Structure 1
Amino acid sequence: MNLLAESALQKITCPLLSEKKISLSVKRDDQLHPLISGNKWRKLKYNLMAMQAQGKTELVTFGGAFSNHIHACAAAGKHFNIKTHGIIRGPELDWQNPTLQFAKQCGMQLHPVTRLEYRERQNPDYLAQLQARFPNAYILPEGGTNKAALQGCSELAKSLPQADFVICPTGSGGTLAGLTEGCDNSTQILGVAVLKQAEYLINEIKSLSPIAAQQQNWQLLTQFHDGGYGKFSSELWQFCLMMQSQHQLPLEPIYSGKMMYALWQLIEQDYFPEGSRIIAIHTGGLQGLDGLRYRQLI
């Protein structure tokens, strides 16, 4: 189930990188597909194959009102002619919200639930009730992170040229776990946590990936959340605008922008040895910019 060709690597050049003698390329997974892009496609690919193998005809998943994952699942449903359901953290739907509008246009059935019910999304009893309600459905966790997702993210790692460091934004941990499975042991893998108090993700990543549980070549950086999930400073947003204007690299401040801003600070602080080859993973999510504009946050 291949949607598209491999995404490009974009070389970034600027005085800071020259001064620090660092080579930086960005893996432009945001360009994988106009609607199903970045790590969302990487995670969906093998889940859709598992769904097919299990003879399921519908997809049920979870997300907030501005979720990149909901957007990507709705687009995939339309593209592959799969009936999709989104359990949306509610309790009410705002039909002016661009992400939900798009999901509805793709034919996704949206089911708003209270925040209390939404907290049950990993509870086995709740999932069993949901399976009984949607007997033909394949249930995919929030963010698309599970064992099948790791295969797609491992595939991404194997598509990269040799590097000393690979860095990615980290929300649910699936991309970082998959990169750990696919990268050479000599490569250091850094995840930039985009949410506050993200230390719990270290154990989640280890439980997802036996390789991550054994290897020491990865770490989660938890100090660059910039206020927490969905939050960002004006400095971070100005950095995103600068990367767009100077390097033609579009970023949003929730995932890839936060990761690139962290990377820039680490380079300035001489975190990386001279001569380091770094690849930063652009995990997509640019649809989120519409939601930020809608909420007048940018």
Structure 2
Amino acid sequence: MEKSQNQKIEMVFPNGIELYIKREDLLHPIISGNKFRKLKYNIQEAKRLGHTTLLTFGGAFSNHILAVAGAGAEFGFKTIGIIRGEELESKIAENPTLAKAQELGMQFYFVSRTAYREKEEKAFANHLHELFGNFYMIPEGGTNELAIKGCEEILTDTDKAYFTHVACAVGTGGTISGLINSSTEKQQIIGFSSLKGAFLSDVIRNFVVKTNWNINDAYHFGGYGKVNDELIQFLNSFYSQTFIPLDPVYTGKMVFGVLDLIQKEYFPPNAKILMIHTGGLQGIKGMNFALQSKNNEIIRYDED
């Protein structure tokens, strides 16, 4: 396992602002970024309870699905992925995320989108136990109390002492909840929503008591998994300048938002900003496959 590191963004910013990115994407080649943090204590709990199987949920290009498959292979668990979309069952070979998860030993159970919406119902859970027996269940996206405990370890003591602002992408709310819990009162935590809608704040309040945070929902580019030419061009430009690859679903939108807000003088003079790279680079292959099918520009990055 590699260690994450803070990398300074060597660009000229107004008002004495400093910008860094924490390379959580370097934590592990498969269990990348915040997924490593979220799974850490869930894996320990599964072992403590004597489970041998991990079961979880996700979509076609889910970072979480691949991370759980990787964790199972590394730590000796059987893994089961409940996958949204019955049509994907015949397309595994065409899907780099599912193909890799299967290679790592994950068993799939494909369900309709209607059935998938009922995944938190007791009847659905009972059906899964009838099919697969005993298992340790991890929610879609990985967010639970143990996941937040893991995400509380993202910020180091040095980070807490030095940075005035911490920014991260927000999906299920687990990562930012951990950051908020471990932050100091002098720090401002900013979440950049990858989803449409303002419901995330209510979700996060279930896990935090501090008030030094806010959610910015102005940079979702149309919603979860949506991209446009402006975002793709930004990702490629940022990579050419910094050699830091960004995923188009989460971190890329967050970095775009932070840089835009800097230019709009949202941050105070001499702000020291830390952006959290939450990984997810495996999803670029799937996104590029979709972009190429439409003859669009693709996202450039180092596949190794």
The answer, yes or no, to whether TM exceeds 0.5 is: yes
Query: Match of 2:268, SS?
Result: coil
Partner of 1:138: 136
Q: Does 1:58 align with 2:56?
A: no
Query: Which of structure 1's runs of 4+ aligned residues deviate more than 6 A?
Result: none
Query: Match of 2:205, SS?
Result: helix
Deviations along 1:72-112, whole A, 9 cap, x unmatched?
A: 11111111121000000011221211111101100100111
Partner of 1:248: 243
Bigger shift: 272-281 or 70-79? Answer: 70-79
**Quick one: percent identity of the two aligned structures?**
44
**Partners in 2 of 1:9 and 1:256 — Cα distance?**
15
Partner of 1:125: 123
Tell me if the contact between 1:180 and 1:189 (Cα under 8 Å) persists in the aligned partners: yes
Partner of 2:273: 278
Deviations along 1:179-235, whole A, 9 cap, x unmatched?
A: 1111112110010000111x111111111x1xx2x3210111111111110001211
**Partners in 2 of 1:281 and 1:114 — Cα distance?**
34
**Partners in 1 of 2:153 and 2:125 — Cα distance?**
29
**Partners in 2 of 1:103 and 1:261 — Cα distance?**
30
Partner of 1:216: 211
Query: Match of 1:271, SS?
Result: coil
**Partners in 2 of 1:58 and 1:108 — Cα distance?**
10
TM-score normalised by length of structure 1: 0.93
Please point out which of 277, 281, 289 is paired with 2:284. 289
Partner of 2:152: 154
**Partners in 1 of 2:263 and 2:4 — Cα distance?**
28
Partner of 2:105: 107
Structure 1 portions without partners, runs of 5+: none
CA RMSD of aligned residues (A): 1.3
Partner of 1:264: 259
**Partners in 2 of 1:90 and 1:147 — Cα distance?**
28
Aligned residue-pair number: 288
**Partners in 1 of 2:157 and 2:48 — Cα distance?**
26
Query: Match of 1:295, SS?
Result: helix
Output the amino acid matched with 1:79.
E
Deviations along 1:241-265, whole A, 9 cap, x unmatched?
A: 1111111111121110000001111
Bigger shift: 153-162 or 133-142? Answer: 153-162
Tell me if the contact between 2:246 and 2:252 (Cα under 8 Å) persists in the aligned partners: yes
**Partners in 2 of 1:42 and 1:159 — Cα distance?**
17
Query: Match of 2:83, SS?
Result: strand
Tell me if the contact between 1:189 and 1:217 (Cα under 8 Å) persists in the aligned partners: yes
Q: Does 1:36 align with 2:31?
A: yes
Partner of 2:83: 88
